[in-house]
Structure formats: C-alpha cells, structure tokens
Amino acid sequence: MKGPCERLGENEDQREEAIAPAGCFAGVPEADKDSEADSDSDLETEDIHGLREPIRDALHLGSCQAYGIVPTIYFLNQGCAPELKLRHRGLGPQGAWALASMLISNPYIKRLDLQDNGLCVAGAEALAYVLSKNSSICDVDLSENQIGVAGAQALCAALKVNQAVQKIQLAGNSLEEKAAQYLAELLLVHTGLKSLDVSYNQLNDQAGETLGPALAENTGLTELNISWNHLRGPGAIVFARGLEANIFLKVLDISFNGFGDSGASAVGEALKANNVLEELNMSNNRISATGARHLGLGLWVNQTLRILVSCRC
C-alpha cells in the first residue's frame, strides 16, 4: 500500500487532460471571441457579476472527478474573493492537482493558503506548476505539508520563472541541507520576494554556510524567519556574515537555532556594519554571558535596530 506522501501514479497525460481546460477560464470560448469583439465592455461588466464562476466551478468539478476526490465546497462558494484559504482539509497530492486547473488562470486570487494538507512532493509539484503560470498570486502559505527537498526544488524553480510571489511560507516541511541550495539560488534571482518563512525545518550548519552568501547578495528580502532549525557552529558564523553585508533585510528571526557564543559574536560584528535591520529575535540560542557581551558591543554601535529579543539565551 502506498504511503500518503508517495508520488502519484497517474501519468502526465492524465494531469494535462485535467488541467488543459483551464484556458477557457480566461474568457469566452475561442470560437466566440471574434464574433463578440465589439462587446468587450459588456463582457467586462458581466465578468464583474460572475461570468467566470460557472466556468471555474465546472473546471474544479471536472478535475475532482478526474482525480477521484470530493469537491471542496468552500472553494465553490468563494466567488471572486482574493484569498483561497483551505487549511487542514486533507487535500493531499491529488487534491492539489485538482485545484491546479482552476488556479492557473484565476485572476482573482492573490493569497493562497493551503497549510497542513499533506500535499507532499507531488502536491508541491502541482502548486509549482501553478506558480510558474499564474501571475496574480503573490502570497503563498504551504506550511506543514511534508514537501521535503524535492518539493522545495520544484517550488523554487517555478518562482525563478515567475517572480510575482512576494511572500512564501514553507515552515514545517522537512527541509534539510540540500534544500538550502535551492533556496539560496532563489534568493539570488528573485528580487521581488519580500518575505520568506522556513522555520521549523532541519536546516543545519552546512545550510547556514550555503544561505549566508545568498543573504549577502539578496536585494529584495525584507523579512526572514529561519527559527527552529539547526544553524550552529561555522554555519551560524557564515550566515551572520551574510547579514553583515545585506542592505535590505528589516526583520530577522533566528531563534531556537543554537548559535552559541561564536554565532552571537558573529551577529554582534554584523550589527556593527548593518544599518538596515530593525527587528532581531535570537532567543534560545545557547548564548552565555561571553556571547551576550560580544552581541552587546555590536548593539552599542548599531543605529537602526529597534527590537531585540534575546531572553533565555
């Protein structure tokens, strides 16, 4: 019996057949476009009142039938709302592919929240396909979905192609050292990404060594949450050096990582040079009085930091 996160067995033809009708969502059928060219204003007015909803619902129902899943009533009732929030619905990989046909050409949804749905790698690939095509979605929450390294690879590849997404949350997805390489590549090319959450994963010291240089070169990110990982030792130091060179980041959460005294000292040095960061959370990082003193030396010089959380070091 297949586990809940095994890749789907259906072939690409089935996926394409289920997703292909999405082109109809962009407006009226192709055969009618020329004959109704003079009625653009009327179509726009009708669109505001829901011309596309029946088409969208038909696509969703057809996709659900193709993948053998129960249609999502909440989605069918959502109309033209800018947010699609389907947390804890047990969609699974097949549910993600069923949603893909509608999401690809949907011009309304700006925020997509699929937290805790057991999407796994195949579901992440479905959403990656959507994000490579859709230029309206700018805020994505895929936390707690067990997407793993392969899922992160697919998503990062899609976001490098279509840079409309400004915020993405990937907390609690079993992202390990190898995922850091894909995240680093994303940070180097996606200048429109403003907020990234990779908390509650397994990013280790080697991941810190990979992400540090990318953070130094990034020219867009303003908020980063990498708490509850395993950045420590040399990785914590290299990551802190990336912070020293960064000139855009305003909010950084590195709590619960085990930076230790050496990491705290490196952060202190970074704060001497960094003149942009405004909020820093580095609580619960195994920092002794020695590390706290070095951190304080950086704070003495820094002119921009407004909020520092460092309790229970």
Residue 101: the pLDDT is: 81
pLDDT at 60: 57
Neighbour-count burial of 14, counting CB atoms closer than 10 A to its CB (0-12 exposed, 13-18 middle, 19+ buried): middle
Predicted pLDDT of residue 71: 56
Whether 103 and 109 have beta carbons less than 8 Å apart is answered as yes
User: What's residue 80's pLDDT?
Assistant: 76
Q: What pLDDT, on a 0 to 100 scale, did the predictor assign at position 70?
A: 55
Could you state, in order of their start, the residue ranges of all structural domains in the chain? 83-309
Q: Which residues of the chain have pLDDT under 50?
A: 1-2, 7, 9-10, 12, 16, 18, 20-51
Residues 112-138: pLDDT tens digits?
999 999 999 999 999 999 999 999 999
Helix axes 233-245, 260-273, angle to 10 degrees: 10
φ, ψ at 274 (rounded to 5°): -75, 130
Structure tokens that stand for 279 in this block: 């909020």
- Edge-to-edge strand ranges of the sheet holding 279-281: 83-85, 111-113, 139-141, 167-169, 195-197, 223-225, 251-253, 279-281, 307-309
Task: Return d(Cα 245, Cα 225) in angstroms, integer.
Answer: 18
> What tens digit of pLDDT does each residue of 136-161 get?
999 999 999 999 999 999 999 999 99
Instruction: Name the CATH topology of 83-309.
Output: 3.80.10
